[in-house]
């Protein structure tokens, strides 16, 4: 696949400046003002929620939620307060997992002020609150998907059975309600972090560093780096329909693989995984919209 049209250097320079901003060593007031509006950190491992989950995985208070259902809850809630509240009510969580009783769990989440991550667009039935939507998704997966089999394969060493890859898990998750391609990858990543922390080393998923799903922000980030698409958008005033048509022509996998390869030379001290690639592209789009004073998510 020909990837000569993408300017990876531009993206990696942005990433380096963002790292300096995050580390408090950036002497660029204009960049810092715009970077403050970027809510996520460049490296996924540096996120507040990821650090909390990693610390709590083996502790008593961090025992719940785990497994497939726990990964869904963690990905959809995606904030420390909500995860702490569920961890403080292990019997309620266990009762839901064992018996499918979702109402007590929902009441605990309401009572303790659990909130939903603003990072994902969670689709729910008309008129339903996002928190009720999370419960509905969890309940549907608990009742209709073979999550026990998946948990068993991931966390218990079966010498004759290979562990599921992150890509396989993501595709399986897309069989559930309200779980699209991007969100399935985020949940599969949460699950892979549990596997890599709790399961025997032989169970480590081989593609956890090279697989990631991408959302519209990632595609828009690539469109900004592709010389042909960016030129077309400038001529048309960045019209949404032009961008939509252009996105479908982007060789997304080839572009991301090229960026990943280039990033290893640019950041040899802390190598990127594919998740850093898709995240950086999304953050680059957010930053550029701030810099160019563009309005709306579709700019």
pLDDT top residue among 123 and 41: 41
Does residue 81 sit in the same domain as residue 187? yes
Helix, strand or coil for residue 219? helix
What are the φ and ψ backbone dihedral angles of 145, each rounded to 5 degrees?
A: -110, 155
Residue 126 three-state SS: coil
If one counts the domains in the chain, the total is: 2
* One domain for residues 65 and 119: yes
CA distance 178 to 124: 7
**What are phi and psi for residue 6, nearest 5 degrees?**
-100, 135
Q: How confident is the model at residue 299 (pLDDT cuts 50, 70, 90)?
A: very low
In whole angstroms, how large is the CA radius of gyration of the chain? 20
How confident is the model over 270-284, as a mean pLDDT? 95
- Per-residue pLDDT of 207-252, as tens digits, reads 888 999 988 888 889 988 987 777 766 676 656 666 667 677 778 8
- pLDDT greater than 60 at residue 288: yes
Q: Are residues 133 and 79 in the same domain?
A: yes
Residue 233's pLDDT is 66
Structural domain boundaries, residue 244: 8-36+214-291
Q: Which contacts of 49-56 are long-range, i.e. CB under 8 A and separated by 24 or more positions? A: 49/74, 49/78, 49/79, 49/80, 49/83, 50/193, 52/80, 52/83, 52/84, 53/83, 53/190, 53/193, 54/193, 54/197, 56/83, 56/87
Residue 297: inside a domain? no
Each residue's pLDDT tens digit, 45-82 = 898 888 888 888 766 555 568 889 999 998 889 889 99
Whether 165 contacts 206, CB under 8 Å: yes
Q: Check pLDDT > 60 for residue 151.
A: yes
- The per-residue pLDDT for range 253-266, each reduced to its tens digit, is 899 999 999 999 99
């Amino acid at each position: 696949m020909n990837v000569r049209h993408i300017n990876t250097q531009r993206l990696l320079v942005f990433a380096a400046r963002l790292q300096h901003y995050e580390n408090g060593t950036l002497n660029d007031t204009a960049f810092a003002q715009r970077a403050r509006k970027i809510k996520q950190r460049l490296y996924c491992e540096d996120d507040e929620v990821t650090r909390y989950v990693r610390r709590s995985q083996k502790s008593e208070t961090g025992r719940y939620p785990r497994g497939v259902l726990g990964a869904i809850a963690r990905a959809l809630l995606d904030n420390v307060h909500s995860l702490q509240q569920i961890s403080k009510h292990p019997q309620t969580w266990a009762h839901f997992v064992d018996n499918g009783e979702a109402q007590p769990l929902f009441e605990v989440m309401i009572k303790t002020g659990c909130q939903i991550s603003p990072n994902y667009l969670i689709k729910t039935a008309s008129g339903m609150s996002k928190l009720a939507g999370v419960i509905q998704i969890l309940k549907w997966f608990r009742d209709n998907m073979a999550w026990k089999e998946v948990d068993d394969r991931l966390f218990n060493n079966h010498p004759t059975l290979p562990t599921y890859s992150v890509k396989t898990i993501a595709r399986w998750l897309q069989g559930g309600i309200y779980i699209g391609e991007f969100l399935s990858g985020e949940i599969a990543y949460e699950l892979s972090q549990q596997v890599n922390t709790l399961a025997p080393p032989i169970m480590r998923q081989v593609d956890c560093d090279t697989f990631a799903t991408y959302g519209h922000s990632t595609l828009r980030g690539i469109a900004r780096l592709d010389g042909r698409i960016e030129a077309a958008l400038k001529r048309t005033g960045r019209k949404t329909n032009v961008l939509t048509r252009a996105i479908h022509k982007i060789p997304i996998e080839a572009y991301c693989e090229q960026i990943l390869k280039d990033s290893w030379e640019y950041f040899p001290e802390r190598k990127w995984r594919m998740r850093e690639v898709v995240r950086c592209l999304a953050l680059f789009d957010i930053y550029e919209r701030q810099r160019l004073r563009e309005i709306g998510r579709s700019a």
